Structure 1
Amino acid sequence: MKTASGAQLDFGRLALLLVMLGVGWYFWYSPVFWPLKLLVVMMHESGHALATLLVGGSVDRIHLAADESGSCLSRLPPGMLRQIAVYSGGYLGSAVAGAGLLLATFRFRLRRWVLGAACVWLVVMGLLYAGDAFTLAFCVGTAAVMGIGAKWLPDGAVDFVNLFIAAFTALYAVFDLRDDLWNSAVRSRSDAALLADLTYVPAVVWAALWTLLAVGLLSIAAYRSLHARPQGLQMPPVGSRARRA
C-alpha cells in the first residue's frame, strides 16, 4: 500500500506496533505498568499547564497521586475561550504526546533524543510546578531512569523502550477517554463536567468531541508513522580513478 508520495506501508512496523499494543492491553492492570500510567497522567496535566501558559495564565502547581489521579492548579485571565482551551488541554495533550511519540519513534527514528527530551521535560515540570514531594520524586526519579537509558542502553534497547512508551501512551490516551468520559459516574467529576457547567453543552458532547479528535489525531500519526519513505537510488561515490578518467 502506497501513499500519494510513494511511501509504502512498513508491515514490520505495523506488526511491532500491534504486538506492543496487545501487550499493553492484555497486561493493563499489571502493577508493572503503574509507572507508565503515572507518566501519561503527567502528560495529561502538562497539557493543562501548557494550555494555561499559551492563553496567558500562570501555573501554580501540579499534583500526581499514587492512585493515578492528578491535578493542575492554575490562574487564568477572564474569558470563556481561555477556559475551554485549558480544560480541553489535558485529554488532548496526552493524545498529542502519544501522536508525537509515534512519529518521533517510527517516522523520524530519533532514538536517544526521545528519552533525552522526556528527561528534560520531567525535570523542568518537577522543579517548576511539583506541588508535593511525591510528584517531585516521581518526576526526578523517572527523569533519572530515562537519562540513564538514553546514555547507556544499546541502540536496540533504546528503540524498544521508545516504541513501547509510544504505543502505551497512545493506548492510554484512548483508555483514559473511555474510563473518564464515557463512565457517567466519573464524567460528572471530569474536565467535561467543568466545561458543561461553563458552556451549558452537556459533558457527554465534550466527551464525544475529545474522543473523535484524539482518535483522529492518533490515527493520522499512526498512518504516517507506519509508511516508510522510499529510499530512492543512491549513486556510488566517485573515486580518484574515475575522476582521472
Structure 2
Amino acid sequence: MRCGRARPQSTQGAAMGTTFGDVWQEVLTVQPEPERWIVVGAAVVALLAVVLGPTWRVGRNVVTIAHEGGHALVALLSGRQLTGIRLHSDTSGVTVSRGRPTGPGMMLTVFAGYVAPSVVGLLGILMLMADRITALLWLSILLLALMLVMIRNVYGVISVVATGAVVFGVSWYTEPEVQAAFAYLFIWFLLFAGVRPVLELQSQRVRNPSPHSDADQLARLTGLPGTLWVVIFALVNLGVTGLGVWLLLLR
C-alpha cells in the first residue's frame, strides 16, 4: 500500500478526498518487506555517500541535524531548558541550553551529539525490521518539525525545511518500492555516518585545538582526557553500527 493518497484522477480531487483519518491509517499500515537486493544496495550506496567527499559534504548537513537534535533531546530529558539551535553552512552547529553547568545532566547533553546519528540509525533499523516504513518517514518529519521550532538562524531553517521536504515528497508522492529504498538508504546513511565525524573531530583537535569541542567540554566536566572521549565516541558508534549491520544483513 502506498503512503498518503491513492493514485488520483486529478490533484484537486485527491486533495479533496484525503482526510486525516486516511493519512493516519496509511502511517499505521505495515508495509511489505522489500527485496533483499534493495536493502543491500541501499547499504552500499549509503556507505559510499559517507566515504566519498562530494556526497559527504551534502549529507553532512543531515548528520549535523541529528547531532544537534541529540544534544537538544537529552538536554530536555535531563531537565535543562533548551533555548535554541543553530546550524551553519560549514556543517557545524550549536545547541544552547540553560541549567547547571556541571553534573550528569550537562555531561549527558554534551555526550549525546556524536553518538546521536548512529543511535538514530539503529532505532530506525528496528522500525524497518517491523516493516513500519511509512511510520518511520512520518516520524522523521514530525521530529524535524519539532526541531524547527528551536532553530535560531536562517541557514538552520533552510536545512531542516529542505530535509523535511525531501522526506515528505518521497513519503507522499512515490510508490512503496521507492519509499522502502529511500527509508533504508536514509537509515543506513545515519548508521554509517556516525563514525566519520568522530575521526574529523580528532583531526581538528590535533590541527586546531579548541576548548569548545564536545570531547574537550567532557574533559573539563569529568577530568578525563579529551582524547579518551573521542575513543569512547568511536567505540560506541562502531558498536552500534556493527549491531545494525548484523540485524539487517547477517542475522
The reply to whether TM is greater than 0.5 is yes
* 1:23 and 2:48 aligned: yes
Structure 2 equivalent of residue 6 of structure 1 = none
22 and 42 in structure 1: CA distance in 2 versus 1, 3 angstrom threshold: closer
Which position in structure 2 is the counterpart of 1:70? 93
- Please tell me whether residue 179 in structure 1 is matched to residue 200 in structure 2: yes
Alignment of 1:186-201 (within 5 A): 188=210, 189-201=212-224
Give 4+ residue runs of structure 1 displaced > 6 Å after superposition: none
Aligned to 1:61: 84
The match for 1:133 is: 154
Q: The residue matched to 1:176 in structure 2 has which SS?
A: helix
Separation (CA, whole Å) in 1 of partners of 2:190 and 2:198: 12
**Which position in structure 2 is the counterpart of 1:98?**
121
Report the equivalent of 1:169: 190
In 1, are the aligned partners of 2:138 and 2:168 still within 8 Å (CA)?
yes
Do structure 1's residue 158 and structure 2's residue 176 form an aligned pair? no
Q: 1:109 aligns with which of 121, 131, 152?
A: 131
Gaps of 5+ in 1: 1-9, 229-245
**Counterparts in 2 of 1:186 and 1:206: CA distance versus 1, 3 Å:** farther
In the aligned structure 1, how far is the partner of 2:140 from the partner of 2:58?
14
Identity percentage of aligned residues = 21
Secondary structure at 2:132's aligned position in 1? Answer: coil
Structure 1 residue aligned with 2:106: 83
Alpha carbons 2:219, 2:226 under 8 Å: kept: yes
Q: Using the TM superposition, give the Cα deviation of residue 181 of structure 1 relative to its aligned residue in structure 2, in angstroms.
A: 2.9
Q: 2:141: which partner in 1?
A: 119
User: Deviation digits for residues 73-125 of structure 1, max 9, x if unmatched?
Assistant: 111235421221111010121221121223333x2232222221111111111
Q: In the comparison of the two structures, how many residue pairs are matched?
A: 215
**Structure 1 residue 185: deviation in Å?**
3.0
Task: Indicate the RMSD between aligned Cα atoms, in angstroms.
Answer: 2.3
What do residues 18-57 of structure 1 show as CA deviations (whole Å, max 9, x unaligned)? 522443245x221x55443211101000100111111100
Alignment-derived partner of residue 11 in structure 2: none
Partner of 1:147: 168
Contact 2:191–2:244, Cα closer than 8 Å, also in 1: no
Alignment check: 8 A CA contact 2:125 2:248 kept: yes
Does structure 2 retain, via aligned residues, the 8 Å contact 1:63–1:130? yes
Match of 1:7 in 2: none
Structure 2, unmatched stretches of 5+, are 1-34
**1:40 partner SS:** helix
